[in-house]
Structure 1
Amino acid sequence: MGGRSPAVARVYRGRFAPSPTGPLHFGSLLAAMASFADARACGGAWLVRMEDLDRPREVAGAAERILDTLRAFGLEWDEPVIYQRERAPAYAAALQALDAQGLTYPCGCSRAEIVRLGRMGAEGPIYPGTCSQGLAPGMRARSIRVRTRAQPMHFTDRIQGEQTQSVEDSTGDFVLRRADGIHAYQLAVVVDDAWQEITHVVRGADLLGSTPRQILLQRALGLPEPSYAHIPLVLDDRGRKLSKSLASAPVDASDPLPAMHRAWACLGQPPVTGAGSPAAFWKRAIEEWRIERIPRRMSIGPQRLAPVDR
């Protein structure tokens, strides 16, 4: 089928994993459409997982609205939706397995202390290893961290190309369970991708830097490593990621085709003509999908968001 290549010839299981912190915006739609198209073009399954671990940030009713929006855009999933809030025992078991290998330790540092003592990295202050040899007298454990390593991690991204990162140098020992008791994203996503047998991950480029951490955990836990593809982020006219900006208006589920055409253009795909419904759009689009057409860049600006007439 269209889009198949030697890199994706094996059985394909993809997923879209939104966080229910608000309605589906254009940047998330882009990731959903890319992951859906890639799965369908390769004859694979497409799953939806709600990343609702961070309960304090969750917006009531957002998960249901996101699912309704996906349906309106013709994005139908193949298996029941998984909710991470129900998966805490699996994350605890993985944490225990890492602890049994001597790869975790309790940390008593506050964020203010890490900011003061750690050097700044691409994603914020790098943990300086303060508690890696044990808690200081009188210090209370707040979080659980994993021991990282300086050896570079290598992987090939299907869009962004060859990637190399030393996790120790880039982030330091990172958190697996937060001070509030919530398991961290990096651990949960690795456990859930393996449990759902995800073979291919297509997501936003803001998570490209997280991939080496996830590969580190996959190898430590003896879990398979999916193939990764990171699409460019969509920025607003002030250079902000849409999901973080005031311009992140929800996509219009009552009139999905205009946003679908704009997203398709942002993904570098040829125009879809003569489609009067989302189902008709996908019938034509999937035949033409080629992941190789996606721009090999980390972001695209607002000039790519101009209305597309069809």
Structure 2
Amino acid sequence: MIPPARQKPVFRFAPSPNGRLHLGHALSALINADMAKAAGGRLLLRMEDIDIGRCTPEFETAIYDDLTWLGLAWEEPVRRQSEHLDEYRAALKQLIVRGLAYPAFMTRGEVKARAAQSEEQDRPWPRDPDGAPHYPEDDRFLTDSVRRKRIASGERHGWRLDMESAIASIGTALTWAETGDGETGEIAADPAAWGDVVLWRSDAPSSYHLSVTVDDAAQGVTHVVRGLDLFHATSVHRLLQTLLGLPAPRYHHHRLILGKDGRKLSKSQGDTALAELRKAGRTSEEIRRLLGL
């Protein structure tokens, strides 16, 4: 009997076309490409363009130009999140039907104000690993009739995961396989640290947590390679994968490129774009050396 062909490892680079790529993006893209090549695998490209207000075709084209200049090649077609909203909506519906998601009516500003008021009165407020305050429990305990009336009235709302119920529903501890630049081995997931995370935003479709989980499964991604700033978010992704019956990839969270002030490079802060380095005469080989590759 001939054994089945071994599936090729699948890697992906998934930028958001809401600005120009910088050195931090170059590091992630190149590490993905290098690891895919070393493993004899495939490299996919995904545009995380759910934030329709900030993502533009011009930025998407610029990403292709930058990646080509870096010497990267990827499989077509490129997956765009904006073209798969029905898939994210279907995943959300699964969680709603099971009673694991609820409509959330408070804005981020209101949540921050509630947390600040509590902390001013020396009452600690739980915060997630990124420092954002947990969502209050108010909406989680509203009756269905109250929720329906508020939604029917047109009140703006998103959807959040009932973290306590979600964890209880799986009845087992979660882990993930990690090979990155921080902790390695079998990592214990702690999704509770994130509180009731957003699944569907009131100001944009879906959320990062839900869409990236669905995307990786839909694209058959076997190796998720991304920055250490997303290390702790993996706990939420492992929980969603388990709840939705999706496979768990291996993870590799790599070092970050920091600015002179010690913060992570950011498009919104205007950090030097790859296009500017290219205009200044830098070559892709120089970029590799600059990044320690």
The Cα of 1:232 is off from its aligned counterpart by: 0.9
Give the SS at the match of 1:194.
helix
Structure 1 residues 114 and 246: CA distance shift in structure 2, 3 A? closer
| One-letter amino acid of the counterpart of residue 121, structure 1 | D
Q: Work out whether 1:134 is the aligned partner of 2:155.
A: no
What's 1:258 paired with?
A: 286
CA distance in 2 between partners of 1:52 and 1:245 (Å): 16
Unaligned runs of 5+ in 1: 1-8, 270-310
Report Cα offsets for 1:58-106 as digits up to 9, x if no partner. 2450111101111111110023111111111111111111222221111
TM-score relative to the length of structure 1? 0.76
**Do 2:189 and 2:238's aligned partners in 1 also have CA atoms closer than 8 Å?**
no
Q: Work out whether 1:143 is the aligned partner of 2:158.
A: yes
CA distance in 2 between partners of 1:65 and 1:245 (Å): 16
CA distance in 1 between partners of 2:110 and 2:76 (Å): 44
Give the CA RMSD over aligned residues.
2.2
Write out aligned runs for 1:66-105 (5 A): 66-105=63-102
Q: 1:119 aligns with which of 99, 108, 126?
A: 126
**Do 1:236 and 1:247's aligned partners in 2 also have CA atoms closer than 8 Å?**
no
| One-letter amino acid of the counterpart of residue 120, structure 1 | R
CA distance in 1 between partners of 2:204 and 2:56 (Å): 20
What's 1:228 paired with?
A: 251
Write out aligned runs for 1:1-310 (5 A): 11-115=8-112, 116-117=114-115, 118-123=125-130, 124-134=132-142, 140=155, 142-149=157-164, 153-159=174-180, 160=182, 161=184, 162-168=186-192, 170-243=193-266, 246=269, 248-251=271-274, 252-253=277-278, 255-263=283-291, 265=292
CA distance in 2 between partners of 1:240 and 1:109 (Å): 30
CA distance in 2 between partners of 1:111 and 1:245 (Å): 19
Give the SS at the match of 2:163.
coil
Corresponding pairs, count? 256
Give the SS at the match of 2:140.
coil
**Do 2:160 and 2:200's aligned partners in 1 also have CA atoms closer than 8 Å?**
yes
CA distance in 2 between partners of 1:220 and 1:165 (Å): 14
Unaligned runs of 5+ in 2: 1-5, 116-124
Structure 1 residues 111 and 246: CA distance shift in structure 2, 3 A? closer
| One-letter amino acid of the counterpart of residue 25, structure 1 | H
Structure 1 residues 241 and 87: CA distance shift in structure 2, 3 A? same
| One-letter amino acid of the counterpart of residue 134, structure 1 | L
**Do 2:48 and 2:81's aligned partners in 1 also have CA atoms closer than 8 Å?**
yes
CA distance in 2 between partners of 1:216 and 1:131 (Å): 21
| One-letter amino acid of the counterpart of residue 21, structure 2 | L
The Cα of 1:245 is off from its aligned counterpart by: 6.6
| One-letter amino acid of the counterpart of residue 218, structure 2 | W
CA distance in 1 between partners of 2:202 and 2:9 (Å): 36
Structure 1 residues 141 and 65: CA distance shift in structure 2, 3 A? closer
Give the SS at the match of 1:233.
coil
CA distance in 2 between partners of 1:245 and 1:79 (Å): 29
CA distance in 1 between partners of 2:129 and 2:256 (Å): 16
